[in-house]
A and B are shown apart, each in its own frame.
Chain A
Amino acid sequence: MRRFRPVRSIPAATRRPMVAAALGLVAGTVAAQPAAPAIDTGDTAWMLVSAALVLLMTPGLALFYGGLVRGKNVLGTMMQSLAAMALVGVLWVVCGYTIAFGSDLGHVVGAFDYLLLRGVGGDPLDGQSIPHLLFVAFQGMFAIITPALIGGAVAERMKFKAFLLFMLLWVLLVYAPLAHWVWGSGGWLLELGALDFAGGTVVHISSGFSALIACLMLGRRRGFPGEPILPHNLPLVILGAGLLWFGWFGFNAGSALAANGTAALALVTTHVSAAAGALAWLLYDWIKHGRPTALGTVSGAVAGLVGITPAAGFVSPAAAIALGAVTSLGCVTFVTWRTRRGIDDSLDAFGIHGVGGTIGALLTGVFASHNAAGLLTGDARQFGIQIVGVVATYVYVGIVTFILLKVLQGAVGLRVTVEEEMIGLDQTQHGEAGYSM
């Protein structure tokens, strides 16, 4: 729901088209307003920084995931994130952006008018106060980290070639259309009034549920469950989580698309939710297992960050404490259950992003109180809309991801051989070693 938020920062002259857009009118119908939208240098400066912050999350994710696997797979795991930066970095400019944010076609997808960013320049879009190109860049960073998140579920056993092709097709066929539904002018979930401040559905539910499907189709790692397959470097995980927390300020507060009160609110709620999530998991481990673990603490922080993502600009800091703690406890409950059931979502891509994104998207409809209203503030309908958004995301993502993986399974195969898996991905997929004597 990015279109709601800039309202407060938009100059009075352009406020009317903004409100019209917020009411769900197609941008084209208001384009004839006389006052041209103006660049705000403060907003632009903040968004330049935000775009860079969001990019930093992907190497952060590489460290987070890389430390969680065994040493023989550290590069293979980090390469999934690096490859997302390389591949989607190009893809977004070529056609990803236009599929997500081009002129609306039937409320489900963007047209090819911005192919290779044709016509995209320094002038702002209607209702925005930053250069259009900057909006492209900011959105592109989201498109990079989202497929990279899926890597956590298929770690230590997926062929690199298959993962690369999967990301290519997934960004075009799943991520970009979904971004159009929720954030694109004319998208059907936007018009319905679904609230998703920074990507609870588009980023976290979509990557999380795809991850669950992928790990079920790929099968478990050799030795799971039974043999303990343990993280090889928790300090890397903690460094990665720190970079994620830091970059998330750009992700969420930047989603205000302006340097204003909503951005400040989003920054505070994001921070508080991460802290509450970390505290909740820390206490859970302490009470349940007798020790407050470092991995539990950072996992809880990431769960809190995921949970607040759809809600960041819509809820109060007090609500963010509850939201972060509830999301964190929901995630640890699921993660414990899935391990007992022998589901090898290896690094808990679904357990944290899917579960956390779902809890966050639903709780947004409960706690919303800024620029929107939810269950607790007298709008039961909003909660219903949130459910529609969540269910629609699950159904679409589930079907397309399943078909994509089936096609790739037939075309190139998804999984490395048993021998390659035992030797490790670093050597067999990349011809390198993460550590040498």
Chain B
Amino acid sequence: MKMIRAIIQPHRLEAVRDALTQRGIMGMTVFEARGYGRQRGHTEVYRGAEYQVAFRPKIVADLVVPDNQVDDATDAIVSAAKSGSVGDGKIFIFEVGDAIRIRTGDRDENAL
């Protein structure tokens, strides 16, 4: 059981969700976030002055899947979130120790 944390461009979120759903992968929690990597900042203009804004808006999407779905899920995310330019984002994969469904008390992969 793994947690997949995808940091993506905000406007790619719907495409990522569709791609995951098509492959039968359900459930995701998203956060609005700000950050930068190689893309660095961008320029904004306020009353004639240009400002370098270091942190760009991003979406962090967390999903937890059984081990055998990890490749499927990451393929789906990469295919939907990729534009080819700097700033497309990153995916991190973590081991998950346990999971509990609050309504039923189901454990582990039964809780997904």
Contacts and interface: CB of A to CB of B under 8 A. Distances in A.
Nearest to B41: A228
Interface in B51-72: 51-53
Contacts of B51: 228, 230
A285 B44 contact: no
B53 A336 contact: no
B67 to A, nearest CB: 35
Contacts of A266: none
Contact of A228 (B47, B48, B53): B53
A296 interface: yes
A339 B49 contact: yes
B86 interface: no
Contacts of B92: none
A296 B52 contact: no
B46 interface: yes
Contact of B45 (A289, A340, A348, A351): A289
Contacts of B49: 335-336, 339-340
A377 B48 CA distance: 35
Given A228-B53, A230-B53, A291 B45 contact: yes
A289 B50 contact: yes
A343 to B, nearest CB: 12
A248 to B, nearest CB: 20
B52 A339 contact: no
A125 interface: no
A336 B46 contact: no
Nearest to A334: B48
A293 B47 CA distance: 8
Contact of A339 (B44, B48, B53): B48
Interface string A328-369: 000010011001100000001001000000000000000000
Contacts of A285: 45, 48
A333 to B, nearest CB: 8
B31 to A, nearest CB: 13
In this complex, the interface size class of chain A, counting residues with CB under 8 Å from chain B, is 10 to 19
B48 A231 contact: no
A336 B48 contact: yes
A332 B53 contact: no
A136 interface: no
In this complex, the interface size class of chain B, counting residues with CB under 8 Å from chain A, is 10 to 19
Contacts of B47: 295-296, 299, 332, 335-336, 339, 348, 351
Contacts of B50: 289
Contact of A284 (B44, B48, B52, B53): B48
B45 A228 contact: no
Interface in B87-109: none
Contacts of B48: 284-285, 288-289, 296, 332, 335-336, 339
Contacts of A335: 47-49
A282 to B, nearest CB: 12
A347 to B, nearest CB: 9
A301 B59 CA distance: 35
Interface in A228-263: 228, 230-231
A287 to B, nearest CB: 12
Nearest to A289: B45
Interface string A193-231: 000000000000000000000000000000000001011
Nearest to A352: B47
Contacts of B53: 228, 230
A230 B49 CA distance: 11
A344 B12 CA distance: 38
Contacts of B44: 228, 230
Nearest to B50: A289
A230 B46 contact: yes
B11 to A, nearest CB: 18
Nearest to B47: A335
Nearest to B54: A228
Contacts of A332: 47-48
Most chain A CB within a 10 A radius of its CB, from B46, B48, B53: B48
B10 to A, nearest CB: 18
Nearest to A290: B45
Interface in B7-63: 44-53
A228 B56 CA distance: 13
Most chain A CB within a 10 A radius of its CB, from B49, B50, B53: B49
A64 to B, nearest CB: 13
In the A-B complex, the 4 residue pairs with the closest CB atoms = A336-B48, A228-B51, A339-B49, A289-B45
16 contacts: A230-B51, A230-B53, A231-B46, A285-B45, A285-B48, A289-B50, A293-B46, A296-B45, A299-B47, A332-B47, A332-B48, A336-B48, A339-B47, A339-B48, A340-B49, A348-B47
Given A230-B44, A336-B47, 19 more contacts: A230-B51, A284-B48, A285-B45, A285-B48, A289-B50, A291-B45, A293-B45, A296-B47, A296-B48, A299-B47, A332-B47, A332-B48, A335-B47, A335-B49, A336-B48, A336-B49, A339-B48, A340-B49, A348-B47
